[in-house]
Amino acid sequence: MTETSQQTQTFLSSEPEEAVEGLPPGFGEGIAGRIAFWIAVTFSAFQLYTAAYGTLPSQIVRAMHVGFLLLLGFALLANLRATTVAGKIWFWLLGALGFATGVYNWVEYNALIQRSGFLTNLDLAVGVVLIVLVFEGARRLMGLPLAIIAGVFLAYCFFGNYLPPPFIHRGYDFAQIIENFAFGTEGIYGTPVYVSAAYIFIFVVFAAFLERAGMIALFNDVALGLVGNWRGGPAQVCVLSSALMGTISGSGVANVVASGQFTIPLMKRFGFRAAFAGGIEATSSMGGQIMPPVMGAVAFIMAETLNVPYADVVKAAIIPAMLYFGACFWQVHLEAGKANLQGLDKASLPNPWQAVKQHWALILPLAALVYLLFAGYTPIFAGTMGLALTIVLILGTPLAALIGPFAFRVVFWVALGLAAAAFMRFGVNILALVLGALVLACLLFKGGRETLAVCIDSLAYGAKNALPVGIACAIVGIVIGTLTLTGIASTFIGAIIAIGQNNLFLSLLLTMITCLVLGMGIPTIPNYIITSSLAGPALLELGVPLIVSHMFVFYFGIMADLTPPVALAAFAAAPMAKESGMKIAVNATKLAVAGFVVPFMAVYTPALMLQDAGPIALSFGYPVEVAYIVLKACLGIALWGVAVVGFLFARLAAWERLAAFAAGVLLVLALPLTDEAGFVLAALVIGQHWWRTANAARATQ
């Protein structure tokens, strides 16, 4: 990983232990830090207002979203990165210019529509400033790789007409290129920024509120209590807590930084190798991005791109997510057995049910979110409702405690429930009245004022956490704009189709390599957007179901953060593990076997993602086919785990590992008689190993 990328992860996730001058940590010192903090709060308030009422045109919301991203991003760079007064002034100036581009689009909205295709010199100047600032912001906040990739695409627009066939295009003048990228909805203000402004931001703020309310502590207690006493307990806790964190978090690398500080040292003290401990944290944290309902925010972009209900995307991800984390649990179990490591002392672990009993209210917003998403409500409505319920719980808890007797608290919560029901029926105005009343009540006493301060802090941290995702969505608009303007995507699609007509597997392999290469140093969201634009249509043309084709590129975009040589998640875990990032990446790649296998299996057996029915469904019914596919996937992945670790009941001989790997391959392949051969070979390998181990145990008695 590049030095810039390492600094970026530290910068975006850095939170000093103590606040400076009474400010929440992470925004800088003095007046400048206070200004940056209130910019973040204003950013969140603007986005939540537009999501709730939606009175502004989409183009204005997108422009202001990017304007706020640039203002907040450069403000944080000025406060946390710049070391000289001139540097601080320079970054603040860039931030003000970035915000001005959003205001310009707002003020000139109607005029810009009327003079579309005939922009003035001032329009073009604003467009140039916007493009330059988006590149600079992405370079500073996300590292060089993403900026370089977008720069190559932008350069192609200017100079592609000088290239040889098949890459040549007809050529475009300067004004047309600037208008395409800086105005309208085909460039920077394209679909990715729309999804960032409309969906992702709400869910990131939602996660920030849940974290501040104590959800992370609840997840850790539940994970410790449930699996801490299993074989290899600390590593099992890491896997489960990361899976739970994935339900609310939108960043795998952020998960590594947040939970790794606790889990990696615990695993090392317990006896796990440093590289394996870091690999477990990186693998399970990145797996959080395929864990419904948030799925690293890619689910929202996928649903918008495919024009399918969000619930369909989530349902397709459920079984693969279970297989992914099941594989992690299994390999931890095997590694712990190989090293003869037992679980933690159960008496010293927290009671998970007691933790849930004490903090059950925190589960309500997440449960409401899942219900609303699967009930067919839009992600905007579901996210707004979940966020509003979280705020009501945070503000209402100290008030309920003041009421005293249990009966009064019950009446209080029932009243809040009725208010939530009224919101479902009559909209945001009722909920706004409830929230306003709670805010006024909280202002009347000290505990309430402190609770209100927590909510304001959550708004600020939500905006800060949304910054890397938003900037990535903005600059990837350059790539999407190039594809739509020049049509170069059709060349790539044609090449994949030409290969796939003779061999679908080779097309899938080419797509996988493209995802892994593009993922070297760029986040999952832009990786998915780019590769789905290039390869998604080709896979669909080759007969791969729509959602499966996009899930394929999504999963390998995630795997890019685990595979060498540029493995962002592995290198983020390296300082905490005190081990080489490359060694951690190698271990993470082994642990993430399900992430590499499941996408290929789903292409040949779409029932794995609850998509098209196959021949088994025609004879025995769809549930039987799904159960059968899941069974052989579990067995195949388990055998590969055995082959990688080299342990089952005891250490395996080399030929046993090869046989286990071969049995797994046969089970994964969707060819005639391979399933039967795989089951037979698996039974022989497992049976023979058990017999050999049992005889060896009897011989030592």
Tens of pLDDT, residues 486-527: 877 777 777 777 776 677 888 888 888 877 877 666 667 777
More reliable by pLDDT, 402 or 480: 480
Mention every residue, 6+ apart, whose C-beta is less than 8 A from residue 140: 73, 74, 77, 81
- Give, for 527, the enclosing helix (H) or strand (E): helix 524-534
Question: DSSP readout, 68-97?
Answer: HHHHHHHHHHHHHT--SHHHHHHHHHHHHH
| pLDDT confidence of residue 103 | 94
Mean pLDDT of the chain: 79
- 117-131, 446-460, 647-661 — which one is most confidently predicted on average? 117-131
Residue 597 contacts residue 288 (beta carbons within 8 Å): no
C-alpha distance from residue 366 to each of 208, 246, 361, 382 (Å): 13, 12, 10, 10
Look at residue 272 and tell me whether its pLDDT is greater than 90: no
Q: How confident is the model at residue 438 (pLDDT cuts 50, 70, 90)?
A: low
Q: What percent of the chain lies above the pLDDT cut of 90?
A: 11
Give the residue-averaged pLDDT of 283-306: 78
Peptide bond preceding 565 in cis form (omega within 30 of 0): yes
Burial of 648 (0-12, 13-18, 19+ CB in 10 A): buried
How confident is the model over 175-197, as pLDDT tens digits? 889 988 988 788 899 888 888 88
Q: What percent of the chain lies above the pLDDT cut of 70?
A: 83
How confident is the model over 597-651, as pLDDT tens digits? 888 888 888 888 888 766 666 566 678 888 888 888 889 888 988 888 888 888 8
| pLDDT confidence of residue 12 | 47
Look at residue 33 and tell me whether its pLDDT is greater than 80: yes
Residue 284 contacts residue 325 (beta carbons within 8 Å): yes
Give the residue-averaged pLDDT of 427-444: 59
Peptide bond preceding 293 in cis form (omega within 30 of 0): yes
pTM (2 decimals)?
Answer: 0.76
Give the residue-averaged pLDDT of 538-542: 79
Question: DSSP readout, 420-452?
Answer: HHHHHHH-HHHHHHHHHHHHHHHTTSHHHHHHH
Q: What angle do CA 101, 105, 111 make, to 5 degrees?
A: 140
| pLDDT confidence of residue 413 | 59
Look at residue 378 and tell me whether its pLDDT is greater than 90: no
Instruction: Pick the range with the lowest mean pLDDT from 57-61, 133-137, 586-590, 695-699.
Output: 695-699
Give the residue-averaged pLDDT of 296-314: 79
| pLDDT confidence of residue 50 | 85
